[in-house]
Amino acid sequence: MSLRDLVVVTGMSGSGKGTVLKAFEDLGFFCIDNLPVPLISKFVEGIHVSGGDVERAAFVVDIRAGEKLRNVEKLIVELKSQDFRLFVLYLEANDEVLLRRFSETRRPHPLSGDKPLIESIRLERRRLRKIRELADATIDTSEYSVHQVKARVMTQFRAHPRESRLNVHIVSFGYKHGTPLEADLLFDVRFLPNPYFVSGLRTFSGRHPKVVKYLRSFPETVEFMRRLKDFLNYLISAYIKEGRSYLTIGIGCTGGKHRSVFVAEEISGKVKHRRVSIQVRHRDEKK
């Protein structure tokens, strides 16, 4: 028996990496937090090349690695050439949320020193930029509770990662609340007629039958949905062929309650492929 799946968990301090590692433990992964960079190759060799009873493993490497972090990019490229499946999972959160989390927990930021907290967060984001670009999946935990973060990871990784499937995560959102940091694709649907200004529709969400009927009554909605469906089906087939495992699609309107919710629901039912798993989340529907 040898290693089949290895997950590298990385990302911003305060974004929930500890919670994610606990989720992997619950899924039966062998887990290590803050694995020193010089030991990564030895760790992989010990559980893979030398054989053993570990089939699935996960480890966290982040800004705590210090100057050695610059070697992680090269290591990730090398690990991707091995005969096991490697996933790089990057955890994100916006500056305001990270500031609040550090304030609430009173934990010092790894780069704090004499700098203000916001400067440490921005410096960390810059230093992690290249590693973020290597990620197979990015999760923005800004709007998640601890339990939701854990549930999201367990849902995505419960199935054996070696199964060749594309996990598509569709997020509806409101631009006035900020764009989701995890999105690979963003679609702005603010050009569609807005139910917010229609008497009797404002309090309903984009999933309500009255709002659905209203939006479907416009030719531009029908045409846009047709074109978006064809475009996404084309892209998804290409991503599957390329071997991609995760894709996050952001659908945005002004407030995130009507048009974006409607489009996200419509798309989830129109993207058809036997090797695709779709999840939908309405981030700002209740705001």
Is the pLDDT at 163 greater than 60, yes or no? no
Q: What is the mean pLDDT of the chain?
A: 90
What would the mean pLDDT of 179-198 be, rounded to a whole number? Answer: 95
Residue-level pLDDT at 81: 84
Residue-level pLDDT at 31: 94
User: How many CB atoms are located within 10 Å of the residue 287 CB?
Assistant: 12
Q: What is the pLDDT of residues 68-113, one digit of tens each?
A: 988 998 898 888 888 888 999 999 999 999 999 998 888 889 998 7
Q: Give the pair of three-digit tokens for residue 37.
A: 């960079």
| Predicted TM-score (pTM) above 0.85 | no
Q: What is the pLDDT of residues 106-147, one digit of tens each?
A: 888 999 878 899 999 999 999 999 999 999 889 999 988 888
Can you list the positions of beta strands (E) in the chain? 5-11, 30-32, 56-60, 85-92, 137-140, 166-174, 185-188, 246-253, 276-282
Residue-level pLDDT at 284: 95
